[in-house]
Structure 1
């Protein structure tokens, strides 16, 4: 899918001039300019992603009347139908209304056809404390039909069966029951939701099936099944790879929170303000057959054995990531619902990866040459757990520009946890080569990434093409983050990035949309001067 986004601002092709709002020119302005009803200082990021030119992100003073509820929002869309090209009564399903600590209110809708949500899409309307609409963003789908052609002939169970058949895995292999300190737990998560699947403006009634399991291999399968005939529309395994006291991987001593039960200490942390726990287990290099693994125990509350080093770091850094999100943003675990943070170390044999697999973390030991124990890097742990945060907030699709943003935001939050340098994974990558790393936010070309849109890599949206270059093109927003931190400082950058990820960004956000989300977040939090500094950071990498 080709994304054609253009940033229109006072410095470029469109300025919503005051004359468009004058009484005398109102009628002709509406005929010639779909944005005629919004105010003069508004900025619109146009998208032609879904057959029709509509805003993917509009910000500024967008309304002349205050908005205070769902009904008012729908009235706003009707008054601006030439701009947004959507019937809010037929095509938008209200999800929630939230007011944040700044007094801003955020209305979330899902684009729908016949009350069935269009998958991986969201529309958001944001108002200030007085009810003025200051931003609208998301996926509007102006070309969506009023009805889908298909009828629902499959049940959720039928769709699950088709999905298992598609991936060639026997469900019994993945559905293992293990005993934990909290009771018996399944290693499998299954979900099947009726949605409308869109590809190249073809809208199909489908089931979105999610299969998350650890054996016979780590998987976070996202599969779309035609609800009428059972054919597979799309499938992708979205495992996100990151190419007492205890002793960590690098030989340092750490204090770790443990749990004492029946004369035994466990790497099991119940000290955090959450419903769940932080638990760390050992796969014993058993791979798929031994997940989530075995509890790591000691009788003396000292975890200093060689084999325990990877577990100590995974446990300690998971706690630090929890603390970072909780202390800085009030977020309670990766889903903000206080769910367990489960980590499994010593996964597989010579496994050169760490991954969030949709419901837990796994860490390989590396092959000793390319990587050592991957849990030994706090930025790697933060990177992977940020994928979990993204999964439950913006939901950035793992392909093309949204996928590159998914990777970039994980890198950026990895830096926020480890701001001593601009490198990612340097503590565990090529252990016998000092100063080496996976990526650099300050100098992406050092590790083969572009740092400007002039060098954007148009790679195929296939596994071989890294789903449109998600690990390659992430260098561009990474460099923008580097400029942002230097422009506004670390503390402000942390708040701006978190707000953009959790408030403004949506599943199909492009680089231009991310720029707009970050600029708007800066404006919300710190005012126009900081917003201009963020905009300048993205200008530096050719994103407008």
Structure 2
């Protein structure tokens, strides 16, 4: 093999040796490697190799270090590899190959942008190296006393983005060695992400010596898409672009929308194709609504409760449209959201209702908080919590599913919070369903707690009890706190009453009108001690 160069201008390059051994004889090369060099640093950027240790008993964990020490001439260091590199990860793939990912370090500090990968067969033969190494960095060791703190660096970034609101996470700083204007400096790399005034992810580089902003990059490759929803209304939403196509992939919120292509709703594994378009205009109404409404639900939870995704850990939110053939349902399956197209009579596409999408995502929130069992009274509370948050997000009425249910029957809905009896739900505990259908009545008895929530928010009179309403904002705060802090997997209706009372006391005081409203509401629906 012969050496290859990145640039034709590089005409002076050390030829690779035909045979190679370390000074201690620990490794040998089977043949001359094919090496490509960096045009500036003159270190190897690619080595096509066939290297194995001479000692077959070498421990797997030492293979990477033996290899780098054997190839140190190509990487321009003279002492031990462990002084110049940090092993970031080791992965064995389905072929049995081992892939090493490394980070160049200088005095123990990562060198920004200088990463390497090394690849070996299952028999321990290294087949290739790829990456960048910056040699001979002249920078003394980092001294905290002569540099600003990471807290100070973060405050500089926050001051530079003082108009930002709805931060997705608190900025964190990483100290690096930064190549800067033909020299090297210690710098803090800080990433900050926020939703308002517009979704943005900034990456700042702050000089660790004097706090100067050396550079900043908007690293969010995000675009605004548009399209018409199921009801024909125009919507805008965040998308991304890869190659020549645009995708329903909101990278800042980690929300993506897939076409399940009518896979059966009971399939063990429902997969799909990420919805794409040749332009920023998307033509599938179900995908438009699923994506836009998932973003609105995410924003509600983030802005209202500072909850980042359903698990509060920034997990991706995946929606699958066109599930089943004319499937009259929507579901959270424990990992993702599924939306049927409806049969056109009972339902149109269930992705077309904000309260339905908020309902399903709240099931996910419940899974990662109270984890209410999906049967009997805990199951009814599970359903009720989703309905409650559904009407808090889609807050123009007290109905559930009215935008997609029975399209040929104006004013119809799936459920009513203000009048559960209108849709065959009880609004009083004495009238609860006690049979075995519907997992013990989870979609039936949810009306009892729904009516209590309505009375707390809007006020009213039932069962000779008058409730003075406190509004939606305080009501949603009480129920969110009850769900995330008090309720447990087997909570009953009486536990719901106690959890709501305790949450109201925490938020507004033991003798507050809010506590009084909660007690009155549960008295009115017959959930009493």
With normalisation by structure 1, the TM-score equals 0.53
Match of 1:309 among 285, 292, 295: 285
1:492 lines up with 2:464 in the alignment: no
Within 2, Cα distance between the matches of 1:402 and 1:298?
42
Within 2, Cα distance between the matches of 1:524 and 1:449?
31
Within 2, Cα distance between the matches of 1:459 and 1:416?
30
3-state SS of the aligned residue for 2:489?
Answer: coil
- Shift in Å at residue 289 of structure 1? 8.4
1:532 lines up with 2:519 in the alignment: no
1:442 corresponding residue in structure 2: 418
Which digits, 9 at most, give the CA deviation of each residue in 1:513-536, with x for residues without a partner?
101101110110012221111111
Is contact 1:386-1:413 (8 Å) kept? yes
Q: Matches of residues 4-403 of structure 1 in structure 2 within 5 Å?
A: 244-272=225-253, 277-287=254-264, 288=267, 291-303=270-282, 305=283, 308-403=284-379
Within 2, Cα distance between the matches of 1:410 and 1:356?
11
3-state SS of the aligned residue for 1:420?
Answer: coil
1:475 lines up with 2:447 in the alignment: yes
Is contact 1:399-1:467 (8 Å) kept? yes
- Shift in Å at residue 412 of structure 1? 0.4
3-state SS of the aligned residue for 1:457?
Answer: coil
- Shift in Å at residue 291 of structure 1? 2.8
Within 2, Cα distance between the matches of 1:295 and 1:367?
24
Within 2, Cα distance between the matches of 1:333 and 1:290?
23
How many residue pairs get matched? Answer: 290
Which digits, 9 at most, give the CA deviation of each residue in 1:433-465, with x for residues without a partner?
1111110000001000000112111112xxxx1
Please say which structure displays the higher CA radius of gyration.
2
Which digits, 9 at most, give the CA deviation of each residue in 1:320-368, with x for residues without a partner?
1110111000111011111110001011101001000010011000000
1:541 corresponding residue in structure 2: 525
Within 2, Cα distance between the matches of 1:536 and 1:290?
46
Change (3 A) 1:384 1:259: same
3-state SS of the aligned residue for 2:365?
Answer: helix
2:383 corresponding residue in structure 1: 407
- Shift in Å at residue 290 of structure 1? 8.0
Within 2, Cα distance between the matches of 1:290 and 1:396?
24
Is contact 1:405-1:511 (8 Å) kept? yes
Q: Which runs of 5+ in 1 are unaligned?
A: 1-243
Within 2, Cα distance between the matches of 1:374 and 1:309?
11
Within 1, Cα distance between the matches of 2:364 and 2:445?
21
Is contact 1:488-1:534 (8 Å) kept? no
Higher relative contact order (CA 8 A, sep 6+): 1
Within 2, Cα distance between the matches of 1:419 and 1:540?
23
3-state SS of the aligned residue for 1:257?
Answer: strand
- Shift in Å at residue 509 of structure 1? 0.7
Would you identify which runs of 4 or more consecutive aligned residues in structure 1 move more than 3 Å?
none
RMSD after superposition: 1.1
3-state SS of the aligned residue for 1:347?
Answer: coil
2:491 corresponding residue in structure 1: 509
Q: Which runs of 5+ in 2 are unaligned?
A: 1-224, 459-468
Within 1, Cα distance between the matches of 2:269 and 2:490?
36
- Shift in Å at residue 295 of structure 1? 1.6
